[in-house]
Amino acid sequence: MKSDVETLQTSEKFDEIYHLASPASPPWYMKEPKRTISANLLGAFRLLDLLKKGGRFGYTSSSEIYGDPLVSPQPESYKGQVDCTGPRSSYDESKRCTEALLFEMQRTKGLNVKVIRPFNIYGPRTRPDDGRAVSNFVTQALAGRPITVFGDGKQSRSWGYVDDIVDGFARYFWINETDYKGPLNIGNDREITVLEVAKYVSKLVGGVPIVFEPSPPQDPTNRRPDLTRAYAVMPEWSCKVSYEQGVAMTLDWFREKIKVGAA
Per-residue pLDDT of the chain in tens (263 residues, 90 and over written 9): 788 888 888 999 999 999 999 988 888 899 999 999 999 999 999 999 999 999 999 999 999 999 999 999 999 999 999 999 999 999 999 999 999 999 999 999 999 999 999 999 999 999 888 889 999 999 999 999 999 999 999 999 999 999 999 999 999 999 988 889 999 999 999 999 999 999 999 999 999 999 999 998 888 899 999 999 999 999 999 999 999 999 999 999 999 988 756 54
Instruction: Report the number of distinct structural domains present in the chain.
Output: 1
Measured between alpha carbons, how far is 114 from 181 in angstroms, rounded to an integer?
Answer: 7
Q: In the prediction, which pLDDT does 134 show? A: 96
DSSP string, 160-218: EEHHHHHHHHHIIIII------SEEEES----EEHHHHHHHHHHHTT---EEEEPPPTT
Residue 160, Cβ density class (10 Å: 0-12 exposed, 13-18 middle, ≥19 buried): buried
Query: In CATH, what number is assigned to the domain containing residue 67?
Result: 3.40.50.720
Cα separation of 137 and 210, whole Å?
A: 9
Give residues with Cβ within 8 angstroms of 10, minimum separation 6: 1, 50
Residue-level pLDDT at 257: 87
Give the separation between CA 194 and CA 254, rounded to whole angstroms: 19
Q: Identify the domain containing residue 46 by its residue range.
A: 5-262
Rounded to two decimals, the pTM is 0.94
Residue of 29, 59, 91, 172 marked catalytic: 91
For residue 59, give the H/E element and its range: strand 51-60
- Report pLDDT for 260: 59
What CA–CA distance (Å, rounded) separates 153 from 213?
Answer: 10
172 catalytically annotated: no
The answer for residues whose C-beta is within 8 angstroms of residue 228's C-beta and 6 or more apart is 75
